[in-house]
Chain A
Amino acid sequence: MSFDTRENTPGTVPANGHSASKPGARPLLIAIAGNPNAGKTTLFNALTGLRQKVANYPGVTVERKEGNWKFDPERPAARLIDLPGLYSLDATSLDERLAREVLTGRLPGLPKPDLIIAVVDATNLERNLYLVTQLIEYNIPVVIALTMVDLAEKRDLKIDVEKLSSMLRIPVVRVKTRERTGLNEITEAVRDVILGEKEADPFWIGDAGNGAGAHSDEIHLSLSDDEAANRQIFARYKFISDVYQASVGTFDTERANFSEKIDKILTHRFFGLLILIAILLLVFQTIFTWAALPMDLLDQGFGALGESVRGSMPEGILTDLVVDGIIAGVGGVLVFLPQILLLFLFISILEDTGYMARAAFLLDKLMSRVGLHGKAFLPLMSSFACAIPGIMATRTIENKRDRLATILIAPFMSCSARLPVYALMIAAFFAGQTVFGFISVGAVLMLAMYSLGIAVAIAVAFVLKKTILKSPPPPFVMELPPYRIPNLRTVIQNMLTRAWLFLKRAGTVILAISIILWALMYFPRSEVPAGDEGGAARIQLENSYAGRLGQAIEPAISPLGYDWKIGVAIIASFAAREVLVSTLSIIYNVGEEENEESPTLIGAIRGAHYADGSKVWTPLTALSLMVFFVLAMQCMSTLAVVRRETNSWGWPVFMFVYMTVIAYVAALATYQGGKLLGFS
């Protein structure tokens, strides 16, 4: 099927597009377009139900939501695509460029849409109509879904729908998605256009028509100088004012501004910040406490699954691969699912109520000092729990460079997986010590490690924004949407979609890396000397590729104060940081079920000696290792997620290299500096 993707001036060619698709030729393609916060997603969910899938547009990380909509019982379901939230189609942002490509049929695998449903927020008519004045130029039939009518009526804002429809020359349907009314009417309006084979009735406002379709071609921007483009915008708003005058009349938009009253407190100079801190604390506290039980259950579940698989399969490589490689590796990552679900539940609620924009408003000044966007705050806070949901949460940052900078520094926030490492080191070497007689050294060190991560993150963000991610201070022109009660359906659907993405995306790469790490520790197989069955695991690990690798890197890590055994543990903990503890247990031959407070592991570490009799572990070694763990990129799952979110291997590789270099240098400075100062 061929479509003429070039635009035609009206009248030169009979309307193409939808009339070319005979019933049964292919499913109809209907695009939903609208401003952010106009109720697009709610309408999309209401029309498609659960028959939807989320993918990325090819080559970029803008989400593409698609679903099937049975708009007519006699016809095959239409493909409904939810375009990203747009203020304009002038292709200055990535979202806008993609939307244009969809509407002109240039995107591979996606024909030109047969119809556009333009979602227009009745309470914010003028600005919402701006996009509509652009949509009607694409030579595709447009149907307007007028949302939030109930809210508008509450404010005594009455819209003459017939007038609006006749002036825009397109059908306008009132929709109340919350009460699910107007859905039949929108279906009918769409059916009318499709079955009646109604042609698009494009018209141009201002100068756009003169340029022979200049408006829908990418050369538009280069063709017109700034002045012409500005005049175009003015002409559109002039037209909108006329439409508004005719269909609404004079209306005092300042009336009954409920959101502004709420904001008197929520974005108050002083109380606003206090409330923000309280909300964030509540969110993270809830994530930690609510997620603890399901995480333990998942952990035990995977343990039990591994045991039962081991019991039911013959002993051998295959069983070991499945149990120790796949189930343990992938299971170790899946236990984070409850945290991710909860975090996204809260993000979804904060976004849908309109509070997220206020948080960005409150914190933008602080964040902009290091060149970040106000919206970077939440992803960074989330990363204290786990960098994976944090990095996934950067999706709310529109600017690509700002988003990348946030992704690249997120893993410096000390996540929960580092806690066991800190706890082991403190318990082994700093337990019971105090400064000034009453503050425990452990607490001071813990605070120091968290602060170190934050300080380095700030420094790195600053450097990145001055160098490879150099861009002018991110423009901060952001709508503060009216406060609304979130739609439960939308919130839950959002949360489930994210969870599924995490499972699907991280799952594949993490599976592969788990298998590789397992193989490095499993091969080559060692003979266990008779009478030393207890040491089998240790001997195996010592002689494995991972063990040899540890011995090979010993010269490189000995300046940091580490021997090869610590080297093996560092390599193994690439699977997940807390694996350091279990690997040290294996390598010091104290059994696998040790934890960070285990006296035998602590004893073994304290007692380890080099060949010359000197101690392997000193408090300085422990400190150096803690510093290394604060800063090093020791987490394959994070790298897998960064790979997915940036759509390239380049960024995760860059992240791994620069973080490891910083960690190495910092640990080296800690150890050697400490020795110079006379510590041991």
Chain B
Amino acid sequence: MEKIKVLTLADVAAGTKAQVLRVSGSGPVPKRLMEMGIVPGVWIRVVKSAPFGDPIEVRLRGYSLAMRRNEAESIEVTE
């Protein structure tokens, strides 16, 4: 079985798509990310990062979401 390469959403280059494996951590922020539709299996495209490198804009389920790199690091994905 081919081993899948796990990285975080913060590592995904702008313009690239990735599939969510899980949101790590606990508390209100990971929960909010999941409630916004970032659940295992969903595809996310990183659109761009803001002028100072942070936050980043991603697109999923037909809408755009901005989050800090900090938050993106808790989202495990595979390309």
Contacts and interface: CB of A to CB of B under 8 A. Distances in A.
Interface residues on B, range: 35 or more
Contacts of B50: 267, 361-362, 364-365
Contacts of A365: 50-55
B14 to A, nearest CB: 11
Contacts of A480: 57, 64-66
Interface residues on A, range: 35 or more
A259 B40 contact: no
A88 B68 CA distance: 21
Given A229-B31, A230-B34, A362 B51 contact: yes
B62 A253 contact: yes
A235 to B, nearest CB: 10
Contacts of B63: 124, 127, 479, 481-482
A496 to B, nearest CB: 31
B30 to A, nearest CB: 8
Contact of B32 (A92, A126, A253): A92
B66 A127 contact: no
A455 B36 CA distance: 37
Contact of B65 (A123, A259, A269, A479): A479
A475 B64 contact: no
A366 B51 CA distance: 10
Specify which of B39, B50, B63 lies most central, judged by the most chain A CB atoms within 10 Å of its CB. B63
Contact of B28 (A475, A479, A481): A475
Specify which of A125, A273, A475 lies most central, judged by the most chain B CB atoms within 10 Å of its CB. A475
A304 interface: no
Contacts of B48: 263, 267
Interface string B5-47: 0000000000000000001001011011111110110100101
Given A226-B26, A361-B55, A123 B39 contact: no
A87 interface: yes
Nearest to A155: B62
Contacts of A257: 59
A473 B65 CA distance: 18
A366 B39 contact: no
A234 B40 contact: yes
B12 to A, nearest CB: 16
A45 interface: no
Nearest to B28: A92
B79 interface: no
B75 to A, nearest CB: 11
B34 to A, nearest CB: 5
Given A126-B37, A362-B51, 19 more contacts: A90-B35, A92-B28, A92-B31, A233-B31, A233-B35, A233-B39, A234-B39, A263-B48, A267-B57, A269-B51, A361-B57, A364-B54, A364-B55, A365-B55, A475-B32, A477-B32, A479-B64, A480-B64, A480-B66
Contacts of B45: 254
Contacts of B40: 234
Given A123-B62, A126-B62, A233-B39, A272 B34 contact: no
Contacts of B36: 87, 127, 477, 479
